Amino acid sequence: MLKKDNNENLPIKFSDYSSFQEIIKQRFSEISVMQVFTSILFIEFDDLSRFNDAFGFNIDDKLMLKISEDISLFLNSKDILARVGNHQFVIMQDLSSEESAEILAKRIIYMLSEPCIIDEHMFYIEASIGISLYPLDGNNITELIKTAENTMKYVQKNSKNHIGFSKDNILSLPCDKSIRLMADLPAAIENGEIYFLYQPQYSHTEKCFVGAELLARWEHPKYGDVPPELFISIAEQNGMIGPLTVKALVAASKAFAVFYKKGMNSFSLSLNISPIFLMARSFDETIEFLINQYDLLGKKLNFEITEEIVLKNTDTLLKTLEKLKSFDINIELDDFGTGYTSLQHLAYLPIDTLKIDKSFVYEIDKDVKKRALFKAIVEMSQALNINIIAEGIENSSENNIIKTFDSIIVQGYFYAKPMTLDSLVEKLESSVSEVVSVY
Ligand code: G
Ligand code: MN
């Protein structure tokens, strides 16, 4: 732990969490009287204990100490630096603005681009930094730290060595709101506040809609529409992702029953499956039970998984995906191109479809490089016998480019927004009679 250090020229550092809390509260009360801008940086490093086996059991502590000394050089005497977890620091930067907080965070990330040297060994370390600002993000120091921590987690999920501000993070909410949402979620799953919409997917080859993505939505009685990223993240943290996924499977089962009744037996449904649900220990038995229970065997069911899971769980993932394939479930890799998938994964994991992320489609008409990347992904997939869905087509200029790839399937507001099951069925029935060729 850091030593308390009262040298006038150095920032205040703490050896234990409670004295840190005491001092930060006291300092914060002075700040709030003065009404000056202040920022909180929450920093988490990679799991530094991974070095302990090779370099000694407490090398992570030595690294934390070394980094704290280096960070201190960037701080002023009234700033506070504290180690608040095994591999976490909090910094309160006095008299700071959004710009100076960003400069500090960038200096820390830049510092980490050089190896950290201890006992002649070089260590490359990565970190994620979340920033909250006083008074913009609230006037309670505990909440400000929590907001910075949540923002750090949000940043960390997306990429390493990154910096995020609370305003960029839809997951950082005032504490009381997130607690209320957390408490309300279980009932919402049961009482219909959480419901599902269907966004159709169009095939240029077949000249019709061939499937839809099932999308969860939550209309909260007090807060209105809750962003799906937010409530799904809450569900993942609170053990509610299982019940939420079961609800989606039930909805899919009902939808298939409707499609079958109308003779639309080949219409497919794609469900977003959280890594937490997929990697749960009892997943194999759970999914087998659900497939039988909800009559999903032999239906055109697709599971969308994200690149994040492919990176983290390669060994067990292969077995899990093979199990899904044994139930005829197709595997779609969602948001493709934004994460870290090694192209090798595409060769040995049983992936049926890549969903090219909407960022590749956005303004593809104006960007030759995007167009080249898009074309390369399509050609690579064709060589690997993997299907393509292009997501996020919003206007006719983008569509004019995308539709030249006639073997792919397209999804986006230009074709159809997410809609209720009734509207979907209506759309499918009318487009069959019209023979859609408008696109
Ligand atoms: O990550 P995933 O691909 O599952 O995200 C799907 C989300 O994208 C849905 O919430 C859906 O509403 C949204 N979406 C669907 N079509 C479009 C589109 O054309 N543009 C944008 N910006 N978002 C879209
Ligand atoms: Mn998806």
pLDDT tens string 276-313: 899 888 888 999 999 999 999 999 999 999 887 777 76
Residue 231 and residue 184 share a domain: yes
Task: Please tell me the distance from the alpha carbon of residue 320 to that of residue 310, in angstroms, as a whole number.
Answer: 11
pLDDT at site 2: 44
Nearest CA to ligand 1 atom 23: 392
In a domain, 3, yes or no: no
Instruction: Count the domains in the chain.
Output: 2
Asked if pLDDT for residue 409 goes beyond 80, the answer is: yes
In a domain, 302, yes or no: yes
Nearest CA to ligand 1 atom 24: 392
Residue 323 and residue 290 share a domain: yes
Please report which ligand is nearest the Cα atom of 410.
Answer: 1
Residue 24 and residue 134 share a domain: yes
Residue 322 and residue 246 share a domain: yes
Report the run of H or E that residue 130 belongs to, with start and end. strand 127-134
Asked if pLDDT for residue 3 goes beyond 60, the answer is: no
Q: Picking from 162-171, 362-371, 408-417, 428-437, which range would have the lowest pLDDT averaged per residue?
A: 428-437
Average model confidence (pLDDT) across the chain: 87
Nearest CA to ligand 1 atom 5: 335
Residue 434's pLDDT band (cuts 50, 70, 90): low
Residue 207 and residue 164 share a domain: no
* Cβ of 413 less than 6 Å from ligand 1: yes
Threshold 0.85, pTM exceeds: no
Asked if pLDDT for residue 29 goes beyond 80, the answer is: yes
* Cβ of 334 less than 6 Å from ligand 1: yes
Domain end position, chosen among 172, 194, 226: 172
Residue 416 and residue 295 share a domain: yes
Residue 41 and residue 152 share a domain: yes
In a domain, 437, yes or no: no
Centre of ligand 1 from the C-alpha of residue 372, in Å: 22
pLDDT at site 128: 92
Report the run of H or E that residue 34 belongs to, with start and end. helix 17-34
Residue 242 near residue 224, CB atoms below 8 Å: no
Please report which ligand is nearest the Cα atom of 391.
Answer: 1
Residue 211 and residue 100 share a domain: no
Report the run of H or E that residue 271 belongs to, with start and end. strand 268-272
In a domain, 439, yes or no: no
Residues, CB within 5 angstroms of ligand 2 (ion): 272, 304, 334
Residue 13's pLDDT band (cuts 50, 70, 90): low
Q: 372: domain range?
A: 178-429
In a domain, 37, yes or no: yes
CA of 411, closest atom in ligand 1: 16
| CATH number of the domain bearing residue 420 | 3.20.20.450
Residue 190 and residue 151 share a domain: no
Domain end position, chosen among 122, 154, 172: 172
* Cβ of 307 less than 6 Å from ligand 1: no
Asked if pLDDT for residue 8 goes beyond 70, the answer is: no
Residue 360 and residue 241 share a domain: yes
Asked if pLDDT for residue 157 goes beyond 90, the answer is: no
Peptide bond into 135 cis (omega under 30): yes
Domain end position, chosen among 149, 172, 195: 172
- Report how far apart, in Å, the C-alpha atoms of 287 and of each of 84, 186, 212, 263 are: 39, 21, 21, 27
Centre of ligand 2 from the C-alpha of residue 334, in Å: 5
pLDDT at site 165: 82
Pick from 387, 381, 356, 384: nearest CA to 370:
356
Pick from 234, 76, 40: nearest CA to 152:
40
| CATH number of the domain bearing residue 150 | 3.30.70.270
Percent above pLDDT 90 for the chain: 56
Residue 354 and residue 278 share a domain: yes
Nearest CA to ligand 1 atom 22: 392
Residue 311 and residue 378 share a domain: yes
